[in-house]
Amino acid sequence: MYERTRISHGFGSGLSPLGKKLLIIYGTIYVLELLSEHWFGIPLVSMLMLWPLSLPDFHFWQILTHPFIHDPLSPVAFLINCLVFYFFVGPIENAFGSKRFLLLFYLSALGGSLCGLAFSGISGFNAPFSGMMPSLLSMIVIFGLMNPEATILLMFVIPIKAKYISYGTIVVTLLTFLAKANPFGAYHLGGILFGYIYFKGPRNIFDPELIYFNYVEWKIKRKRSRFQVIDGDKGKKNKKPTYH
């Protein structure tokens, strides 16, 4: 659906004006959070974060406000989120365009909130949620799908292909969700799911004919992989290879 981007520069070096504005907005909001929570005693975060449906603290506006709110007790986590955003926003926006990037980013946040609310009645998933992590995970997965052979320095040290980062993000998020090890697992999975659907296009995912075509193509490739070409005698000329 989207043309693959060529990564000829370091992550973040292509930070767009839109990316800079979003970082400034998120940073300004977080500073206001710190001031209101720790200096003026105003419970701004509890009013704007997303609460489970079963709790009286839930309000519909929180579906729109919670992606802009982050834990005021964990500034390091907020800075890490900003760092991930800085790394990935350039390539993703270049591939999608500014408008489509914004739609992807906040559609992933909406998908995360819907899935999170759907599971909020289950024990272990009923914690209030805030932050842009569903959108960030969606960006990481989509980057790996667009640039599977691009190399990323994991923890700034270990080189690894982007496709493995993408697959690993999905697997780890799913496993921690199933194990109930992550109370926000439903939010994270929802962000990845909605981002993937937008990236591929709903028609390309749910079209029965396309699904059948992909299945047939997979079966053909699987059958071909069983055949091996063996050069029986390199010394003889015009010797045809044998197929097994």
Pick the CATH number of 17-205 from 1.10.10.60, 3.40.50.300, 1.20.1540.10, 3.30.1360.70: 1.20.1540.10
- For 154, phi then psi, to 5°, come to -70, 130
HEC string for the chain: CCCCCCCCCCCCCCCCHHHHHHHHHHHHHHHHHHHHHHCCCCCHHHHHCECCCCCCCCCCCHHHHHHHCCCCCCHHHHHHHHHHHHHHHHHHHHHHCHHHHHHHHHHHHHHHHHHHHHCCCCCCCCCCECCCHHHHHHHHHHHHHHCCCCEEEECCCEEEEHHHHHHHHHHHHHHHHHCCCCCCHHHHHHHHHHHHHHHHCHHHHHCHHHHHHHHHHHHHHHHHCCCCEECCCCCCCCCCCEEC
Query: Is the pLDDT higher at 173 or at 233?
Result: 173
Asked whether residue 12 carries a pLDDT value surpassing 60, the answer given is no
For 10, counting Cβ atoms within 10 Å of its Cβ (0-12 exposed, 13-18 middle, 19+ buried), the class is: exposed
Asked whether residue 200 carries a pLDDT value surpassing 90, the answer given is no
Element (H, E) at 146: helix 133-146
Q: Provide the residue ranges of all domains of the chain, joining segments of one domain with +.
A: 17-205
Q: What is the mean pLDDT of residues 58-69?
A: 96
pLDDT band at residue 239, thresholds of 50, 70 and 90? Answer: low
- pLDDT per residue as tens digits for the range 131-178: 999 999 999 999 999 988 888 877 667 888 999 999 999 999 999 999
